[in-house]
Amino acid sequence: MVADQIELPKLLQSKSYLKIVGILYLSEVTNTQLSSDNVEKILKANHIFNNIVLTLKPRVIKVSPKSDMSIVWIDIWNTQNGSKAKIIINRRFNVSSFIATVRGANMNFGVPLCKNCWK
């Protein structure tokens, strides 16, 4: 007798919006700008993001024209009760010689713009 495969119900998912502060905008070694692909590599290399799935590519914004730091906005798939986001919010991790921090954020519609240069 062959048992029929029963598809188990999947948990409802929601999105959580986070930002990461404390990452250099320009690489110390190559002097290139931080890109979405670089951020994805950084997240994959860090153990606190093991069970985290991004909904979109990360968005990188320079903090200000005179600053060398960036803010990285990430949207993740989360459970309805927000357990995945709760685990990583306020966690810190190393990026090169800097310590980055994950913060909660509000939903951001559209393309993020710098309030200094409007780019």
Neighbours of 111 (CB within 10 A): 6
pLDDT beneath 70, residues of the chain: 1-12, 108-116, 118-119
Per-residue confidence (pLDDT) for residue 1, from 0 to 100: 41
CATH 3.40.50.300 at 13-104, yes or no: no
Per-residue confidence (pLDDT) for residue 2, from 0 to 100: 46
Predicted TM-score (pTM) of the model is 0.77
Decide if 96 contacts 70 (C-beta within 8 A).
Answer: no
Per-residue confidence (pLDDT) for residue 114, from 0 to 100: 66
Per-residue confidence (pLDDT) for residue 10, from 0 to 100: 58
Per-residue confidence (pLDDT) for residue 29, from 0 to 100: 72
Per-residue confidence (pLDDT) for residue 92, from 0 to 100: 96
Decide if 73 contacts 19 (C-beta within 8 A).
Answer: yes
Mention every residue, 6+ apart, whose C-beta is less than 8 A from residue 34: 23, 24, 25, 26, 27, 60, 70, 72
Per-residue confidence (pLDDT) for residue 11, from 0 to 100: 60
Q: Burial, 18: exposed, middle or buried (Cβ in 10 Å; 0-12, 13-18, 19+)?
A: buried
Q: Which residues partner with 74 through β-bridges? A: 18
